[in-house]
Each structure stands twice: as structure tokens, then as C-alpha cells.
């Protein structure tokens, strides 16, 4: 799970900026993941849904980048972010390895969409924990004075992202259902009659 509580040790604005920077990097990696998957999908609706989630993730990354740059300067590097973002970081890295395969079957994409829904659930939950943190609430007055930004607006940005993550879960469930139905259609046996008379004779007699 994302280690949001590491910031409770102090009210250092840079610690907050470092953490939000890591979230921005994570969302950008998520964007790249969904974009790569959408490029491998042939079904138009599934491709569009994947691209929509990718665009939301890129939007989140851009928003978070603006937030952390407004709080404090940070030099946090991707390699330093895993300990702060924990399971979510490791899952994205694992999913990107799968997405790098030259080709994915419908059943593989269906199974991956189920795992991605779990990932989106983790991400949304951890954003929620972050919004509810007492440390964030205690820092509002201090950071407003020092950096002249309104952290109630920051809270609303995170709530918007939380709602997006929930929507992503719903979209991934839709994707999973579409892929499973198409997989069943693809694997249904096709009966071919070599002799047309045999097919005709199998029909019920006309009244």
C-alpha cells in the first residue's frame, strides 16, 4: 500500500511535495501502461475505453505536477518513489512488463483488466487516505501562509481523482465483460456440413 503516513513524522512541506511528485510519476507510468494496452486491442469499444483511462491518468499526472511544484521544490527521482508508493508502484511495473508482450489474447487482456481494476481500487483508497490525513489538515494554515496556495482546493483535486479511479474500475469491468464474450464467440466450434443434403435432412419436417 502507498506509504502516505510517512509524512506524519513532521510537517515538512518538501516531504509533502516529494510524495505528490511520486504520485505524479506513478500516474504518468499508468498512462503509458493503458496507452500501450490500447494499441494492442482490436475491438473498437475496448480500445476507446483503454484510451479514456490513459487520458485520465495523464491528466492526473499533470494536475499533481502542478500541485507539488506549488508547494516546494523537489528532486525526487522515480527510483526513490517505490518506498513511498509501495504496492501500487510494483503493480504498475509488473503490468508494464505484461503490456510489453508483442501480442495479448482476449483472455489475457480480460484477466489483466480484472487485475487493473484491483489496482485502481488500491490507488483510489490510498488517495482517500491521503485526503483524510490529519497531517495534511494541520499543514493547511502553515502552507497557505508560506506558499500562498489554498489546500482546500488541493483536497478537491484529490477527491476528483478518487472519483475518476472509481469510474476506471467500472470501465475495466465493462472491458472484462466485452473481452470474455468475444473470447467465447471465438472459441465456439463451427459446424460445417460437407454434404448439403445432410444439412437439409436435419431440418424438422414442414407442416
Buried b (16+ CB within 10 A) or exposed e, 104-138: bebeebbbbbeebbebbebbbebbeebbeeebbee
CATH classification of 11-186 is 1.20.1260, yes or no? yes
Q: Which three cell numbers stand for residue 14?
A: 518538501
> Are 10 and 61 a contacting pair, CB within 8 Å?
no
Q: Give 39-96 pLDDT, tens digit per residue.
A: 988 899 999 999 999 999 999 999 999 888 877 777 667 778 888 888 889 999 899 8
Q: pTM of the full predicted structure? A: 0.79
Number of other residues whose CB lies within 10 A of the CB of residue 146: 12
Instruction: State pLDDT tens for residues 54-69.
Output: 999 999 999 999 888 8
Amino acid at each position: 500500500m502507498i506509504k502516505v503516513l510517512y509524512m506524519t513524522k513532521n510537517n515538512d512541506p518538501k516531504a509533502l511535495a516529494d510524495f505528490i511528485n511520486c504520485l505524479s510519476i506513478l500516474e504518468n507510468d499508468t498512462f503509458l501502461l493503458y496507452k500501450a494496452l490500447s494499441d494492442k486491442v482490436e475491438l473498437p469499444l475496448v480500445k476507446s475505453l483503454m484510451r479514456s483511462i490513459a487520458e485520465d491518468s495523464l491528466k492526473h499526472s499533470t494536475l499533481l505536477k502542478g500541485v507539488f511544484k506549488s508547494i516546494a521544490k523537489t528532486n525526487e527521482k522515480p527510483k526513490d518513489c517505490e518506498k513511498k508508493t509501495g504496492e501500487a508502484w510494483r503493480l504498475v511495473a509488473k503490468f508494464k512488463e505484461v503490456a510489453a508482450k508483442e501480442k495479448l489474447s482476449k483472455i489475457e487482456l480480460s484477466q489483466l483488466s480484472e487485475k487493473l481494476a484491483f489496482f485502481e481500487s488500491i490507488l483510489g483508497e490510498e488517495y482517500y487516505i491521503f485526503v483524510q490525513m490529519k497531517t495534511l489538515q494541520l499543514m493547511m494554515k502553515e502552507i497557505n501562509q508560506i506558499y500562498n496556495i489554498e489546500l482546500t482546493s488541493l483536497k478537491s483535486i484529490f477527491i476528483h481523482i478518487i472519483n475518476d479511479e472509481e469510474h476506471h474500475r467500472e470501465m475495466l469491468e465493462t472491458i472484462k465483460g466485452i473481452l470474455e464474450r468475444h473470447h467465447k464467440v471465438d472459441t465456439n466450434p463451427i459446424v460445417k456440413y460437407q454434404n448439403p443434403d445432410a444439412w437439409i435432412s436435419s431440418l424438422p419436417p414442414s407442416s
